[in-house]
Amino acid sequence: MTLGQLVQLVLLGTIWGSSYLFIKLAVAGFPPLALVELRLLLGALVLALVRWSARQPWPERPVWPHLAVMAVVGNVLPFLLIAWSEQHIDSGLASVLNATTPFFTLVFAVLVFRAERLTRGKAAGVVLGFLGVAILSGSDLTAFRTVSAQGQLAVLASSACYGLGFAYARRFLRGAPLALAASQIGVAAVLLLPPSLVLVGGATLQPSGSAVLALAVLGILGSGFAYVLYYRLIASAGAVVASLATYLMPPVGVTLGWLVLGEPVGWRLLAGVLVILVGMAMVQGQAGWAALLARRRPASAPPAHD
């Protein structure tokens, strides 16, 4: 990994991890539906401009129904669930709970799409990941009538949506990556626009300056620039290296929530982060880590020719 790739990796993980802080700030001034719609519109605009500058072709017609599925499962539903949840739980806790996405991705890839084989190591990683959730939440998740439990369950539901979306995309989506991202975010914005106009259109919004700034960061960076950075990192360093950014999300989210919002950081939160990260490493699998380590070995000399 070059220094430039390392900088991109840290920047990507920081953008993803800080999204929970900005959601917490933005949802104080915008209702979740309006927040998500405006975020999607900003992200779609950024990605459409980048796609145009890169001259990537739009997806072919058979791909668009799959993009509609991805827009709902991978954007609209999880964005709304996380925005609603952060009205009731800390941003740091949301960032850690959302780190369970790789576990749901593996479950859907194995059980629904038959796209991956479940090894003992990966199964142990999934079990360990949800053990981390149990450590984090304790008995809170059993108190279903409390808004705290409902908020935590909403984040876990968003992780399930992301997991289903990633497994679905791996099975059905093909095409230029930036064009796919721009199309998916654009479709999500179009699908959510009618209910946004009906349910929020008549409301009087008076968001604070911090809420507006947080929304702009979410849309331009979180739903726009992050996609560009992610696919650029895949192209230059490979998918294994790019996936390492997910390991930065919980530490970044917890740290920013503590520094900016004064959210408490107790032993359960720290222990849950550690256990979930270990589970993520196990789910990553030996093949992925072998591919990463192989990049650091010097290439063997080419065979001699006469």
What pLDDT, on the 0 to 100 scale, is given for residue 31?
93
How confident is the model over 194-230, as pLDDT tens digits?
Answer: 999 888 876 777 889 999 999 999 999 998 999 888 8
Domain positions in the chain are: 3-200+209-294
d(CA 64, CA 169): 12
What pLDDT, on the 0 to 100 scale, is given for residue 285?
65
Q: Both tokens of residue 162?
A: 């992301």
What pLDDT, on the 0 to 100 scale, is given for residue 141?
62
What pLDDT, on the 0 to 100 scale, is given for residue 192?
96
What pLDDT, on the 0 to 100 scale, is given for residue 146?
85
What pLDDT, on the 0 to 100 scale, is given for residue 139?
60
What pLDDT, on the 0 to 100 scale, is given for residue 142?
65
d(CA 71, CA 293): 34
First-to-last C-alpha distance (Å) of the chain: 34
Q: Both tokens of residue 194?
A: 């009618």
Between helices 77-85 and 147-172, what is the axis angle to 10°? 160
Q: Both tokens of residue 158?
A: 């968003």
Regions in the chain scoring below 50 on pLDDT: 286-287, 289-306
Cα angle 14-174-294, degrees, rounded to a multiple of 5: 55
